[in-house]
Each structure stands twice: as C-alpha cells, then as structure tokens.
Chains A and B, each alone.
Chain A
C-alpha cells in the first residue's frame, strides 16, 4: 500500500474526536464610576453552580456551562448547550477581596470595587 494512503487510513481510524461544547463569548456591558467597575454578562440557562469567576494576575475570566434538559425529540432548534467563556484584563487597582458576583435572570452582575488607594482624591490646599 502507498505511503500516503496509509496516512489517510490512520486518520480515519482516529477516534479522539469527542463532541465538544461550543465556547461562546457572552455579550457584556461594562460600566465604571469612581467606586467600582460594573460588568453585566448575559448567560441565559446557566445555573449558579456552573459559573466560575476568577481573577488571576490582572485577568478576570468568567465561564459558565449551559446544560439544557431535553424531553422528547427536538423539532426545531435555535440554541444549544454552550460554554460561555470570556476573559478581560482588569487594572491592578481592583480590590480582589471585595469583588461581588450576582446572578439574576440569567445575567451575571460583577461588582469590581477599586481599592482605596486608587480612588480619586481631592487635595486640600492649605493656606500658609
């Protein structure tokens, strides 16, 4: 048998292919004021326990797996199980200890408070 054919046959025998979930970036809104940065991320169908929010070395990563139950046969399909993944760079001035996350109606709300040192400060001018 030809060498190139052998390679082809090998390739077909390969069974490593497993059904992988799509990785989808959730739509986000990002707001900021002097106190904090606020992130809204749309993650419909993801249960609280399946969401993870990590801040490591200036990178905020959110991920969540959607597991929808299927009863009966699907006759029409517009959305499927996905893994929502998105990474952001956050400034070092975020107080990592005080980050709060809330899940409401499939929207993840992240409050990233700025550390005291990073907040704007008005300097009082002393008269001599």
Chain B
C-alpha cells in the first residue's frame, strides 16, 4: 500500500490538518462541561470552582437568583457544605411561554485538602456568584524557612 515514506508522511500530515481544524472549531475540546448554564432543568445544584493559594482556599459557586438568606454555609475542620434553595419568583397572572430555569433545593459538600480556620471565613455574594475565602488553619499554612 505504501511504497514510499513520503506517502505515510502525507497521510499523517492530513490527519494533523484535520486535528488542527477540529481544534479551531471547538476551542477547548474535552472541557465542554464548563459551558452551559447553571440551574437548567435537570441540573439542580450550583457549579463550583476551587482555587488554592498559599494561605487560602477560594471557592466560587454559581448561584443565580438566590438571595443570601436562602444560602447556608457550614465549615468544620476540612469539611465544607453549601446548601440552599432556588425558587423562581413567578409573576402572578402571567401566561408562561418558556420555563428553562429549574427550581431546586440543593446541598453540596466538599472535603478540602487542609483544615481551615472556620472563624475567619469570608463569604460574599455578588451578581449571582458566591465567593468564599477560607484561610487555612495556622498549622497548615506554609512556613518560610530561613537558610543559615
């Protein structure tokens, strides 16, 4: 089938070409779950991101349409729980054309890699995103070592 090396080379070249084009089409292949919207009917809990820097963990959670009274955050040791409920404020006397936003009661819990200082956790709710800043407990914080 292949008589010369250049034939094989050409075949792989064509495959690379296809791959490049596909990658341009889907700019981030394999991470499609990052798109889409929260609280569609069927997915009933907020999506979250966890970030870690030296002294803190930072958490972002997508909580559109949820006021701060409807959210509950519990921290104990390295255990974190976010629970709450989402309900849509349906207007009275309106005809419904489309309902895509789902209503739900949710609870998600996480085990963080280190214990956190529960007394100094900061939580902020801004534009439908919950931001949590959890400082690591003293014993878990990185220590700088001085060289003698």
A residues neighboring B (CB under 8 Å): 2, 4-5, 7-8, 11-12, 14, 17, 19-20, 22, 24-33, 37-38, 40, 42-48, 68, 70-80, 82, 84, 103-107
Q: B128 to A29, Cβ gap below 8 A?
A: no
Contact B16 A71 (CB under 8 A): no
Is B65 a contact partner of A107 (Cβ separation < 8 A)? yes
Q: Which residues of A contact B6 (CB under 8 A)?
A: 2, 5
Number of A-B contacts (CB under 8 A): 167
**A82 proximity list for chain B (CB < 8 A):** 34-35
Bitwise interface map of B from 9 to 42 toward A, beta carbon under 8 Å scored 1, else 0:
1100110110011011001100101111111100
The residue of chain B having its C-beta at the shortest distance from the C-beta of A10 within the complex is B17
Instruction: Contact check, A106 vs B64: say whether CB atoms are below 8 A apart.
Output: yes
Query: A46 contacts which chain B residues (CB < 8 A)?
Result: 127-128
Expressed in whole angstroms, the minimum distance between the Cβ of A105 and any Cβ of chain B is 5
Report yes or no: A71 in contact with B14, Cβ–Cβ below 8 A: no
Q: What is the chain B residue whose CB lies nearest that of A1? A: B6
Residues of B within 8 A of A7 (CB): 17
Which residues of A lie under 8 Å from residue B82 when comparing CB positions?
none
